[in-house]
Amino acid sequence: MFKDPMQTAHYLNLQRDMERANLSNTNQALNSGSIQAQNVQLQQEVARLQGENQYYRQLLCKPMNEIAEKNGNFKETYEKQMEIMADWMVSQKAFKELAIQFGFEKGQSAQETIQQAKDLKTSVIQGKNNPDHKTNADEFIFKHSSK
């Protein structure tokens, strides 16, 4: 190529350096494209998650039975809770009936017994009930009576 071997070596080194630079530029371009593709994917995922977040925020504003219709996991929990509530309501009705029967035995009318129960309800909320009765509601009532 060149008469001077030093010039030839210098030229070959320059050529090699240019090839490396071109290869590096090609890799950077490929990496840049890959990074841009990843950014697009991440932006799409963020948009999807924001939409999902909005869906659940709106869903949580609905009555629990509507939430249960939309979410199977919640539905199972909701149905168990409704069973507990139904059992509790039947239990409350049974105790009310029993109290009225005891009221009759004491010579009270049903209305007098109901009024007496309302008065006792206020006492229970204020923590004035007899602690010897050890009802399972005591802890819950005192924890939530200020609400």
Q: Render pLDDT for 37-89 as a digit per residue (tens, 0 to 9).
A: 888 888 999 999 999 999 989 988 999 999 888 888 889 999 999 999 999 99
Domain for residue 45, yes or no?
Answer: yes
> Which phi and psi angles does 31 have, rounded to 5°?
-65, -40
User: How much is the pLDDT for 90?
Assistant: 94
Residue 116 lies in a domain: no
Among the ranges given (29-33, 115-119, 137-141), the one the predictor scored with the smallest mean pLDDT: 137-141
- In this structure, the chain runs to a length of 147
In a domain? residue 87:
no
What letter does residue 129 receive in the DSSP assignment? Answer: S
Residues spanned by the domain of 30: 1-61
CA 7 to chain centre: 73
Q: 129 in a domain, yes or no?
A: no
> Could you give the number of structural domains in the chain?
1
Q: Residue 88 falls within a domain, yes or no?
A: no
pLDDT digit string, tens, across residues 3-12: 666 777 766 7
Asked if 67 and 78 count as a contact pair (C-beta separation under 8 A), the reply is yes
Q: Is residue 11 part of a domain?
A: yes
Asked if residue 50 belongs to a domain, the reply is yes
Does residue 19 carry a pLDDT above 70?
yes
Q: Is there a domain that residue 141 lies in?
A: no
- Has residue 137 got a pLDDT over 90? no
H or E, element range at 65: helix 64-70
pTM for this model (two decimals): 0.50
pLDDT at 134: 67
CA 42, distance to chain mean position in Å, is 24
For 95-117, what is each residue's pLDDT tens digit?
A: 999 999 999 999 999 999 999 98
The region of weakest confidence among 22-36, 84-98, 116-130 is 22-36
Question: How many Cβ atoms from other residues are within 10 Å of residue 128's Cβ?
Answer: 9
Tokens (6 digits) for 131: 């602690």
